[in-house]
Amino acid sequence: MPELPEVEVLKRSLQKKIRFSKITRIRIYNRNLRYKVPYSIKRNLKNHVVNNISRISKYLIFHINFSKKLLVHLGMSGSIHLIEKNNKINTNASFYHSSYLPTKHNHIEISFNNDIKMIYNDPRRFGYFKLLKKNYLSKKPIINLGPDPFSYKFNFEYIKNFIYKKKINIKNLLMNQKFVGGIGNIYANEILYYCRLKPTKTVNQLSKKNILNIILQARKVLNKAIIFGGSSIRDFKKTDGVPGNFQQNFKVYGKNNAQCPRHGCNGYIQKILTSNRSAFYCPKCQI
């Protein structure tokens, strides 16, 4: 599943290609995604302009004519492809970029007046499209999300109050979307490495210094991942077809039995399971 950096890269790609473009046609080939695609999408969006594309956590928000909004969640295997008129084979804004787009899993196609088509492809169909109302920030799913890691709301007092009397481990906390939006398994592992914290450390053991460092390192790791274009686990590529390469900067994720990269540490990365998810850490310098 894409995490915050990959969705942010995709958002920026879409802004470059379709922002200020008019929707001329919408085709729904398969309504059976995680939730039924509403037929009203056609009526509400056709002949309107995409004024902006924003991101909330792992969700994309298409702002249509300032009053209408469309939420898109990619789920486990959803991808967005942009096909230009003179290049009908290769896609150039795909999460799982491929020169061949398997039409079997193309569920929604949106055409724009600049001769670009946006195709939503999803083999597992866990993603979904949802029209949002004016008060969408106070409705599901947005209302259930924690603050963005880059938000001023993600601060010491917020974390201190959230973890009060809780005994869950720190890795599960970072992956809890009600606590903070957008961090998944990959980046939780990397953040904890930089914080020198063991994934199984319970949150009631965190010091003030630990909490402040979590805020700092979360922003550093995520921002660096965005700059590097996301992580190419499998075959993610950016809008220009160049693979995201933050995975080349992984310190612990997927590095089981490798020597710890921290200067002066002679430990070896171990893989453990926390809530049936892989966790990678150095038992010598992450305590």
The active-site residue, picked from 17, 55, 58, 238, is 58
> Would you call 2 a catalytic residue per the annotation?
yes
The active-site residue, picked from 3, 6, 8, 190, is 3
Alpha helices in the chain (DSSP H): 4-18, 40-45, 156-162, 170-175, 185-195, 208-227
Non-local CB neighbours of 161 within 8 Å, separated by 6+ positions: none
Rounded CA Rg of the chain: 20
* Helix, strand, coil tally for the chain in percent (to 5): 30, 25, 45
Give the integer Cα–Cα distance in Å for 150 and 173. Answer: 17
Length of the chain: 287
Closest CA to 45 of 29, 65, 18: 65
> Would you call 3 a catalytic residue per the annotation?
yes
Tally the C-alpha atoms within 13 A of residue 271's C-alpha that lie toward its C-beta: 11
Non-local CB neighbours of 155 within 8 Å, separated by 6+ positions: 215
> Would you call 34 a catalytic residue per the annotation?
no
The active-site residue, picked from 68, 125, 219, 277, is 277
> Would you call 157 a catalytic residue per the annotation?
no
List the catalytic residues.
2-3, 58, 277
